[in-house]
Amino acid sequence: MLSSHCSNQQQQRHVLWDIPFPRNRTYSGWQSMVNGSNKKRLTRGNLQRLRTGMNSSAAKTDGVNHVAAASRTSTTQSEATTHDDKLIQHYVPTFVMLPLGVVTAENVIVDKAKLEKQLKELKAAEIDGVMVDVWWGIIEARGPKQYDWRGYRELFLLLKKLDLKIQAIMSFHQCGGNIGDNVFISLPQWVLKVGETDPDIFYTNRAGARNKEYLSLGVDHLPLFGGRTPVQMYGDFMKSFRESMADFFESGLIIDIEVGLGPAGELRYASYPETQGWAFPGIGEFQCYDKYLAADFKEAAAKAGHPEWELPDDAGEYNSRPDQTAFFRSNNGTYLTEKGKFFLTWYSTKLLLHGDEIIDEANKAFLGCKLKLAAKVSGIHWWYNHPSHAAELTAGYYNLPDRDGYRPVARMLSRHNAILNFTCLEMRNSEQPAYAKSAPQELVQMVLSDGWKEGIEVAGENALARYDADGYNQILLNARPNGVRPAMEREKKLRMYGVTILRLTDDLMRPNNLDLFKKFIRKMHADQHYCPELSKYGHAIERLERSKPKLRTEELLEATKPSEAFPWDGETDMPVEPASVFARLLKTILSIFSD
């Protein structure tokens, strides 16, 4: 609650927000701008003078901070390897995603000398390791089962030399066509060639546009690729990866395998492709109009006693808004009808079963290795506050105010003891345009809570590259939603399993950005130095055991019953840069003028 006055026993506090003025200092001029009669005279001219005064103050503060930082970096080697037994339990390992094209389509490392220099700087910043896409389109480019791991072996040798742990993504999707993609790596040409005569192997929208980012899950079990099914191809690829990288597995270098399950490696349909004209915050389109999925739906509808039901024809186009469509409109939208509910259940369940089968193949391929499996879920935060959650529905997440669309995913992952990796950790509601009805904070809170409720580990990453304190502090909050208070103060200690930052770029390595990033890493580590012993912070990795028996569809759907998310603190208790009185003052005033 905002305080307009304070008692004689309290420090004086601002009228617009609940923060104290430091004692023994005079701020009467600035205070009068926001208190009392002078409040109305807060003009843009005053703002400029305020900003100038704050910059001067910040410069003085920075001088003090640099001295303190220099003092901290003088830590002795013995201090660097000592960890506080309590704080280390709040340590969240932090990784950096390597460039999408770090290994080129020609299977060579791009500018190895520059890469090594940057990795050494990141190692000095005390990151725990890196995440890297292992592209199907590079490795199996020459033909079926003709795997070429040369470029990746060279990369992994470099990472081993620098003692950087590896999270490897089995990337069965195309690189190019998604937000942030700056290189192009297609699916293997011999796979695309099959699509020349049978284009229905690709996800297809109602207008018939094919998306070549990822094979339609409708062909998962069809031997259309030289006698192999996609499920078999993915399994063979992962087995070859294990065999070719056996030395890196045995040495403990590779600790995490993220299994690609769709476009951008995420468990979702290709519902919002920029290559087909989608732009934020379009609702996207359903991707089930290839002949294989269309036939599957008709068969399912007939079994349900409704052979007359067809796939949706009223769900709009990529850039529609929900209430511009009959399917997603707030009042009596098709999604609320019996037919709409049946379709959405079928559409989302097909995606769940697809993910379950591919992760099961991964479990068999890496059985006995000391690692964790993971799957990535997309952070589709736009239209979250619209009753239909339209953008989530087209992507395959059947999530509504009275139906949890993410807990079934977590339950599916629980049988494989796999990590749920979620995105948009850095985003805040206040940064999103009001017309998009976006709520990334509530979405993150919901999905992470669902994972914890199902007894699995959750990890995450930022959706967009950014290098500011606000973004880092939001990630820190999500990594430890209740801070580092002693566990006895709450029923459950919430802590993410790990966080990956997108991504290694020249921008990240600029001195100012790198300095702040180092502070962020230290805070992710709960003010502790890098800890190479995973068991010290509860992350001892056991050899992968066989997945539990497959869950019945009914068991997965039981998880759709909504429940309250775990509570989150308002802000992290370990910010990278605690906001000064002046910074908070300016931020509040500017927000008033921007409204």
Report how far Cα 366 is from the mean position of its chain's Cα atoms.
24
Q: Is 206:285 a contact under the CB 8 Å cutoff?
A: yes
Count H helices and E strands in the chain, helices first: 18, 10
- 52 among annotated binding-site residues: no
The C-alpha atoms of residue 211 and residue 312 are separated, in whole angstroms, by 19
Amino acid, res. 145: K
Bond prior to 153 in cis (omega within 30° of 0): no
Which candidate in 140, 213, 258, 266 is catalytic? 266
Write b or e for each residue in 248-287: b if 16 or more Cβ atoms lie within 10 A of its Cβ, otherwise e: bbeeebbbbbbbbbbbbbbbbbbbbbeebebeebbbbbbb
Annotation marks residue 461 as catalytic: yes
Neighbouring residues of 184: CB distance < 8 A, sequence distance ≥ 6? 174, 175, 176
- 173 among annotated binding-site residues: yes
Neighbouring residues of 525: CB distance < 8 A, sequence distance ≥ 6? 91, 92, 94, 126, 531
- 221 among annotated binding-site residues: no
State the Cα torsion 68-498-129-166 to the nearest 10°.
180
DSSP annotation of 321: -
Q: Take residue 333 and report the two structure tokens written for it.
A: 């939208």
Please state the length of the chain: 595
The C-alpha atoms of residue 369 and residue 284 are separated, in whole angstroms, by 39
- 503 among annotated binding-site residues: yes
Q: What angle, rounded to 10 degrees, do the helices at 407-414 and 338-365 form? A: 30
Q: Is 55:34 a contact under the CB 8 Å cutoff?
A: no
Neighbouring residues of 21: CB distance < 8 A, sequence distance ≥ 6? 11, 12, 13, 14, 27, 31, 581
- 522 among annotated binding-site residues: no
Rounded (5°) CA angle 341-375-532: 155
Q: Is 576:469 a contact under the CB 8 Å cutoff?
A: yes
- 337 among annotated binding-site residues: no
Of 59, 233, 71, nearest to 147 by C-alpha is 233
The C-alpha atoms of residue 375 and residue 393 are separated, in whole angstroms, by 19
Annotation marks residue 266 as catalytic: yes
- 123 among annotated binding-site residues: no
The C-alpha atoms of residue 368 and residue 358 are separated, in whole angstroms, by 18
Residues annotated in the binding site for substrate, as ranges? 133, 173, 181, 376, 381, 423, 462-463, 503
By annotation, the residues acting in catalysis are: 266, 461
Residues annotated in the binding site, as ranges? 133, 173, 181, 376, 381, 423, 462-463, 503
